[in-house]
Amino acid sequence: MSKSGLYLLLILLMVVWGFNVSAIKILVTYFPPVMIQGIRVMMAGLAVILFLFLKKSFQKVSRKSLIGIFSAAVFGVLGHHLFLAIGLTATTATNAGLILGLVPLSTSIMAMIFLNERLTLLKSLGIIAALFGVYLIVMNEKGTLSGLSLGDLYILGAVLTQAASFILIKKLSVNIDSRQMTGLMLFMGSILLILASFFFPERGTSLTFDQPAFVWWTLIGSAILATGLGHMLYNYSIHRLGAGSTSIFINLTPFFSIVGSSMFLGEQIQAKHLIGFCFIVLGVLLGTGTFRALLKRRKKQHTFSA
């Protein structure tokens, strides 16, 4: 596949991931939140594993690798999706989608703390800009943080646990195919989520089969397309384009999440959401070093062309 074709697929994937926030919001409205997250993630994991089996790409995994994958699944699947499910029952998909845009920056901050990466002036400015963007999103009409809901705090928990899982994966250096690691992480984490759901019963919802047809199609699309195949494509893109180039596309996800929340849920997009989105994207570009890397690449290309 050409790079231009891969770039197009990545943009489409960011649309799907942005809309997926609204899809999960729908699912946690009709079903017990944590339970449906476990089922959704299990479907995604099984889809990836089945795909690898059909391609005869599934390999034996060492015990050490399994322990590493399980550790990452505790944070990246159990923690992330648990907080996400509960959070979406108490906040809007618009707020959730924008706050989730902090994942790359949170990963960068944790890398500074646990991997001893250097804190630069640009990264400091990025952290401040992103935090200001979140402040704009969750503040009320009077400009105070009394508009911050418990759901927003849970979404922040989803951000931090996802970032922690990325650090774990990097630190553990699991020697396994990224697609296989994705499938096993999703499957292991889904079992933990289903077990956890018995400790988080949600009143007013039940796991029944009498839901509208669009809810079931939402579940299938979210599980197979967004989570299963989506993560496979993203990991493949990292292999082809590099982590830096691929991660740039993540900045599009919050924008498509607020578009999706408006289209599918009828949520109102306010000026503070758009301004907050701009500050978060600016913060991510500065705080993750992406902006500096782009300047270096442009300078290098200019030198060669000269």
Q: What is the pLDDT of residue 128?
A: 85
Neighbours of 157 (CB within 10 A): 17
Residue ranges of the alpha helices (H) in 76-120?
80-88, 93-99, 103-114
The pTM assigned to this predicted structure is: 0.82
Q: What is the pLDDT of residue 172?
A: 64
Q: Residues 58-87: pLDDT tens digits?
A: 888 888 888 888 998 999 999 999 999 999
Q: What is the pLDDT of residue 174?
A: 52
CA distance 35 to 26: 14
Q: What is the pLDDT along the chain (306 residues), one digit of tens a residue?
A: 777 788 889 889 999 999 999 999 999 999 999 999 999 999 999 999 998 888 888 888 888 888 888 998 999 999 999 999 999 998 889 888 888 888 877 877 887 787 777 777 887 888 888 878 877 776 655 555 555 678 889 999 999 998 888 777 776 655 677 788 889 999 999 999 999 998 886 655 566 778 889 999 999 999 999 998 888 888 778 767 765 567 667 778 888 898 899 999 998 888 888 888 888 888 877 876 777 776 777 766 655 555
- Smallest CA-to-CA distance from 38 within 221, 187, 255, 214 is with 187
- Which value, to the nearest 10 degrees, does the dihedral of the CA atoms of residues 126, 129, 132, 133 take? -100
CA distance 289 to 199: 40
Q: Which two tokens stand for residue 177?
A: 């195919």
Q: Which residues of 253-283 are buried (b: 16+ CB within 10 A; e: fewer)?
A: bbbbbbbbbbebeebeeeebbeebbebbbbb
Contacts of 293 (CB under 8 A, 6+ apart): 244
Q: Residues 118-155: pLDDT tens digits?
A: 777 887 888 888 878 877 776 655 555 555 678 889 99
Q: Which two tokens stand for residue 180?
A: 């296989």
Q: Residues 99-120: pLDDT tens digits?
A: 888 887 787 788 778 777 777 7
Q: How far is CA 11 from CA 5, 250, 253, 281, in A?
A: 10, 9, 9, 16
